[in-house]
Amino acid sequence: MSPLDLAARPAEKPLTAAQMLKLYQLETADLENIQSFGESVVPRLDDYVTRFYDWMETQPEFEQFFSDTEKLDRVQRQQLVYWQEFFAAKVDEEYLDKRRVVGEAHARIGLPLQVYLAAMNVSMKLITGNLYKSGLSPDQYATSIHSVSKLMHMDCAIVVQTFSARVNRIMAEQNDALMEMSTPVTSIWDGILLLPIVGIIDSSRGQDIMNAMLAKISKTRARVAILDISGVAVVDTAVANHLIKITKATRLMGCETTISGISPAIAQTIVELGIDVGDIQTTATLRDALVYAFRATGVEIRQAP
């Protein structure tokens, strides 16, 4: 299972340290191999940082994320701590939490995942090649590299999954905000609701409109609702059916819906398509719809003398 495969899984409760170790087949011998390999690498981590940022400076993202010297110095110190903890190979809940913090940080600053994964690939090359000097037999070296690779894959999976979860959460919040903006049901008078619709109405948005209207009716006990479609560019059979369903649903809750903003072009289209609007109340303008709503709720508007 690759890091991207793990990130693509639906949101679920994070795995425990024991579960992660089992998933990536990291046994006690692997952790001991990583610790032994680290004895040669950790003393040379300063050299790693120098070589890593020699590579990083060749990437277009360097100026965007690391041009500030204070920020760069802080990130480099954090990187040293990261690898020190990596080669300590104490994989517990705290270790996993720290890797998730890395994923959150990457998502927060907007560092692309492809850059992170490329950076980990470069790190693997530096750690297993440039930094390692000697001390292990060829067989021990190969075994240690295999263990290091497994832990690095686990780290990448945690970071990518956390990164993706944060991005998806942000997108969901933005989508909710846009939905609220696209379905702004407003109580304009006691017992009267208004929802101006602008743009395109598809199945998803039609359902959102219905949900918003029914929720507002339940909350305010409105008796009349106005759907103003003067901002809807195209009304076809599908759009008309969405509007009819909305009016029928609101009627079941004791609220009569008026559709305003019926332009000559829309009226002609509805007739040509043979759409039966039944007994749905429609008006050409929002003003006419308001007049109807006031009368239906027993409200009388008089011009001041």
CB of 142 within 8 A of CB of 198? no
Q: Please count the helices (runs of H) and the strands (runs of E) in the chain.
A: 13, 5
Structure tokens at 43: 């003393």
Q: Which of 240, 242, 230 is closest to 203 using CA atoms?
A: 242
pLDDT at 280: 85
CB of 53 within 8 A of CB of 76? yes
Query: CA separation (Å) from 182 to 111, 155, 202, 204, 291?
Result: 30, 40, 12, 12, 25
pLDDT at 180: 55
pLDDT at 12: 64
pLDDT at 3: 39
Kindly report the pTM of this predicted structure. 0.58
pLDDT at 6: 40
Domains recognised in the chain with CATH numbers: 3-178 (1.10.490.10), 186-296 (3.30.750.24)
pLDDT at 182: 59
Total residue length of the chain: 305
Torsion sign (Cα): 244, 249, 250, 251: positive
Instruction: Report the Cα 69 to chain-centroid distance in Å.
Output: 31
Segments in the chain below pLDDT 50: 1-10
CB of 164 within 8 A of CB of 196? no
Torsion sign (Cα): 135, 138, 144, 149: positive
Rounded to 5°, the CA angle 254-261-206 comes to 60
Q: In 10 A of CB 244, how many CB atoms? A: 17
pLDDT at 278: 74
Tell me which residue has tokens 């598809």.
Answer: 202
CB of 37 within 8 A of CB of 144? yes
Spatial distance between the Cα atoms of 104 and 17, rounded to a whole number of angstroms: 19
Q: Which of 27, 1, 4 is closest to 159 using CA atoms?
A: 4
CB of 246 within 8 A of CB of 206? yes
User: What does residue 107 show for φ and ψ, rounded to 5 degrees?
Assistant: -70, -40
| pLDDT tens-digit readout, 204-256 | 888 888 998 999 999 999 999 999 998 887 788 888 888 889 999 999 999 99
Helix (H, G, I), strand (E, B) or coil at 206: helix
pLDDT at 163: 86
Helix (H, G, I), strand (E, B) or coil at 123: helix
The two beta strands, 186-189 and 224-232, are unpaired
